[in-house]
Structure 1
Amino acid sequence: MRRDKAALVRMIGFGAGALLFSVLVIAVRVRWLPLESVDRGVANWLNGLVAPSGFLVSLMGGISRLGSFGVLSWLVVIASTVLLVRRRFRLTGFLLAAALGGLVLDPVLKLAVGRLRPVVEQPVAHGGGNSFPSGHSLNSFICYAALLLVFLPALPPRWRRPVLIAVGAVVALIGFSRLALGVHFLSDVIGGWSLGVAWVGLCAAAFELWRYEHGQNVTAPLSEGLEPEAADDLVPAEPHPREPERDGHGRGWVLAGLGVAWVLTFGALILLGLPLAHYRHGNGNVLGDSTIPHWFAAHRADVLGRITIIGSEVGNTHAILAIGLVIGALALAVVRRWRPVVFLVTVMFGELSLFLGSAAIVGRARPDVENMDGPMPTSSYPSGHVAATICIWATAAVLVMPRTRAWWRWLLPAAAVLMPLWVAVSRMYRGMHHPTDILGSCVLAGLWVLAAWWLLRPNHDLVEQPAPAPERTQLKAAWAVRSGVEGPATGSTGPRSGGRSGADVA
Structure 2
Amino acid sequence: MVDLERWANDTSAPDLGLRVGIPAVVWWVIVVGLGFLLAGPLAGLKEREDAVNEWLVEQRTATLNTLTEVWSAMGTTETIIGICLVVSGVVWWRTGQWWYAAVPAIAVAVQAAVFMLAALVVSAERPEVEQLDHAPPTSSFPSGHSGASVALYLSLALMAQQIERTWLRVSVTVVLLVLPLLVVCSRLYRGMHYPSDVVIGVLNGLVCVVIGWYWLRRAPRA
Q: Normalized against structure 1, the TM-score is what?
A: 0.39
* Cross-structure match for 2:104: 344
1:323 aligns with 2:83: yes
1:429 aligns with 2:189: yes
* Cross-structure match for 2:4: none
Q: Which has the larger displacement, 425-434 or 322-331?
A: 322-331
Quote how far apart the aligned CAs of 1:279 are. 6.2
1:258 aligns with 2:20: yes
Letter matched to residue 304 of structure 1: L
* Cross-structure match for 2:30: 268
Quote how far apart the aligned CAs of 1:255 are. 2.3
Quote how far apart the aligned CAs of 1:280 are. 8.4
Q: Partners in 2 of 1:385 and 1:282 — Cα distance?
A: 25
Quote how far apart the aligned CAs of 1:282 are. 8.7
1:397 aligns with 2:157: yes
Structure 2 unaligned spans of 5+: 1-7
Deviations 1:380-418 (A, max 9, x none): 111111111111111112222135343211234323431
Change (3 A) 1:260 1:294: same
Secondary structure, aligned partner of 2:46: coil
Letter matched to residue 291 of structure 1: A
Report if the CA contact (8 A) 2:54-2:129 is conserved: yes
Secondary structure, aligned partner of 2:102: helix
* Cross-structure match for 1:96: none
Quote how far apart the aligned CAs of 1:283 are. 7.1
Q: Partners in 2 of 1:261 and 1:275 — Cα distance?
A: 21
> What is the RMSD of the two structures over their aligned residues, measured on CA atoms?
2.7
Where in structure 2 are the equivalents of 1:63-462 lying within 5 Å?
243=11, 247=12, 250-252=13-15, 254-278=16-40, 284-285=46-47, 288-456=48-216
Report if the CA contact (8 A) 1:293-1:431 is conserved: yes
Q: Partners in 1 of 2:172 and 2:120 — Cα distance?
A: 32
Q: Normalized against structure 2, the TM-score is what?
A: 0.85
Secondary structure, aligned partner of 1:259: helix
Q: Partners in 2 of 1:257 and 1:457 — Cα distance?
A: 8
Report if the CA contact (8 A) 2:75-2:183 is conserved: yes
Deviations 1:257-290 (A, max 9, x none): 31221012112211211122346879713xx422
Change (3 A) 1:420 1:242: closer
Change (3 A) 1:309 1:321: same
Change (3 A) 1:280 1:267: closer
Secondary structure, aligned partner of 1:365: coil
Report if the CA contact (8 A) 1:387-1:441 is conserved: yes
